[in-house]
Amino acid sequence: MAPSLFPDYPPKLTSEQEQYLLSNLKDWSIAHGLAVRPTASFVSQKQDPSGVLATTAPVTLFPSLFPRACFEEGLAIQQAFNELYSAISRDENWLRGIVEELVDIDDFVAKLWGIHVTVKKEGYVQDLSLGLFRSDYMVHIDPSVSGVSPALKQVEFNTIASSFGGLSSQVSVLHNYLSKINAYPHSVASIIKSNSLPQSKSASSLAAGLAAAHKAYGSPRTSYPTCILFVVQDPERNVFDQRHLEYSLLEVGVRSFRLPFHRTLSDTKLESDRTLVYIPPNSPSTPYEITTAYFRAGYSPDDYPNPEDWTARLQLERSRAIKCPSILTHLAGCKKVQQVLATPHSPHLKRFLPNDAAASRVLATFAPIYPLDKSDSGMEARKLATTPELAQRYVLKPQREGGGNNVYRKTIPEFLKTLPESHWPAHILMEMIEPPALKNAILRNGEVQKGGVIGELGVYGVCLWKNGSGLDNEGKVLENWEAGYLLRTKGDQSEEGGVAAGFGAVDSCCLVDV
């Protein structure tokens, strides 16, 4: 970790100040839906058998200081990233070359690709795709260069179930509220102020993306009313984050329903023309035609415990509904794609971003990433990953989303010993980003945890595109915009950062010039 840029922030609070801050933070959070379902370790099933209780989402007491130039750059280049991953999703031949390196060693990727192949043989009936993306970054200070300015480096790019768009829009408002009621000491009044606290528009912007797809679907094929379907996990601790998008949709007249993934086959059906119909269990006499299937589940092998779950994913992919994401867009989010784009001297980025200026700005955010295959780069990476002294600077990542999957630093060599060498190429090796040291306090499960923290900036993007034939890549981007931000903060002793996975907390940026 790099030295601290802000050693005196946040200030210490008296017990009275902390009590006032916490009281207002908790009340505001619950009143405005900045909440999650509690974990079993916090509230047992015996205490809450119906699963109705809620608690304040893990949240920081103070907004975290963040370099203004890095923040603004992250937002400015999101449209280029949207364009990049839309183009990758449309280039089936290129993506096939990536996937074919994984299908024999990664069963999950193989099954996803198998669904695409099956639907392609039958013929896709929907040529529109929607991406609600999130590009995650950390501030990096090169420890080998004295006096270097902080830079923004990408951690990963998420193409499915990009979470916390709902809660992130709330926490930035929360910190602004706490500032306005003087919950923070006067010593930081010149730092925490309205023009330093950018408000995230993520909930309304992501909902606008879903609404754009709903409209682009066109006239219904049935006589049924139309809706958007949220495909979700069950149980879902992060339900309130998703509800903010649902409520924003309803405000613009778009009805949506929540479908637990395992109920897909029982609560939906395909008409003869593959129109997807939802039958609400509470009102089976009033079916709905589904315009858009928005996946907040299906990104992890854990979501497919039974063969029927794969049948369900196939049914959704076969349908006329616009998918968010499609199988190809889901696969475009594989870490292997990130590695191929970011491997030093890789020629692939400009294939998808012909604008040299945009490509250069995107390239500047990449940390060095290597394969673990038997190419020259892969053999170099294998030496780095299996040598304990060298592995200290790296993180090993599988082709997974959702947090809790990575292997860090000194544990990498021992982990690789547990894997057959033939399975090593299912991972990528990424140079660790070195963020500046920060301090903050986190409220989690009713307890305040204070100390060193690390922040991770996520920038949301909306992209709606037409896929084209697949042979001549006639695809066209129809909508493309940056859609707000998320700041996740975790204790500096935790390598993982997922909030829902139990590692991080939602935060907001307090911009400073450094």
463 and 418 part of one domain: no
**Size of the chain in residues:** 514
> Any idea what the CATH number is for the domain that residue 425 is in?
3.30.1490.50
- Any binding-site annotation on 158? yes
Per-residue pLDDT reduced to its tens digit, 29-48: 999 999 998 877 677 777 87
To 10 degrees, the CA torsion angle through 107, 108, 114, 116?
A: -160
- Any binding-site annotation on 236? yes
Among 388, 408, 432, identify where a domain stops: 432
For residue 305, give its domain range. 15-367+433-512
| Catalytic machinery residues | 134, 156, 158, 163, 335, 397, 401-402, 488
Residue 276 has pLDDT above 90, yes or no: yes
Report yes or no on 322 lying in a domain: yes
Read off the pLDDT of each residue in 20-25 and give the average, rounded to a whole number.
Answer: 98
394 and 437 part of one domain: no
- State residue 495's pLDDT score: 55
- State residue 404's pLDDT score: 67
111-125, 144-158, 256-270: least confident range: 144-158
- State residue 32's pLDDT score: 95
134-138, 171-175, 250-254, 339-343: least confident range: 339-343
Residue 500 has pLDDT above 50, yes or no: no
Report yes or no on 7 lying in a domain: no
Report yes or no on 3 lying in a domain: no
223 and 106 part of one domain: yes
295 and 414 part of one domain: no
Residue 491 belongs to what H/E stretch?
strand 476-491
What is the DSSP track for 220-271? -SSSSPEEEEEEE-SS-TTHHHHHHHHHHHHHTT--EEEEEGGGHHHHEEE-
Per-residue pLDDT reduced to its tens digit, 380-427: 999 999 999 999 999 999 877 656 688 999 999 999 999 999 999 989
268 and 412 part of one domain: no
- Any binding-site annotation on 430? yes
Per-residue pLDDT reduced to its tens digit, 93-120: 999 999 998 999 999 999 999 999 999 9
444 and 409 part of one domain: no
Residue 479 has pLDDT above 60, yes or no: yes
Report yes or no on 6 lying in a domain: no
Read off the pLDDT of each residue in 5-21 and give the average, rounded to a whole number.
Answer: 93
Read off the pLDDT of each residue in 170-175 and give the average, rounded to a whole number.
Answer: 96
- State residue 499's pLDDT score: 46
Report yes or no on 501 lying in a domain: yes
- Any binding-site annotation on 453? no
What is the C-alpha R_g of the chain? 23
- Any binding-site annotation on 298? yes
What value does the mean pLDDT of the chain take? 92
158 and 24 part of one domain: yes
Instruction: Give the Cβ contact number of residue 230 at 10 Å.
Output: 25
Q: How many separate domains does the chain show?
A: 2
Report yes or no on 424 lying in a domain: yes
- Report field, pTM of the whole predicted structure over 0.75: yes
Per-residue pLDDT reduced to its tens digit, 454-463: 999 999 999 9
Among 408, 432, 456, identify where a domain stops: 432
Q: At what angle do helices 356-363 and 78-90 cross, to 10 degrees?
A: 100
Among 407, 432, 457, identify where a domain stops: 432
421 and 492 part of one domain: no
Residue 201 has pLDDT above 50, yes or no: yes
Distances (CA, A) of 287 to 231, 243, 263, 278, 280: 17, 22, 15, 6, 7
53 and 142 part of one domain: yes
- State residue 498's pLDDT score: 47
- Any binding-site annotation on 255? no
Q: How far apart are CA 350 and CA 369, in angstroms?
A: 17
422 and 295 part of one domain: no
Report yes or no on 52 lying in a domain: yes
Residue 361 has pLDDT above 90, yes or no: yes
117 and 222 part of one domain: yes
346 and 405 part of one domain: no
Residue 132 belongs to what H/E stretch?
strand 128-140
Read off the pLDDT of each residue in 193-220 and give the average, rounded to a whole number.
Answer: 97
- Any binding-site annotation on 138? no
- Any binding-site annotation on 160? yes
Report yes or no on 9 lying in a domain: no
- State residue 206's pLDDT score: 98
| Residue 117 three-state SS | helix
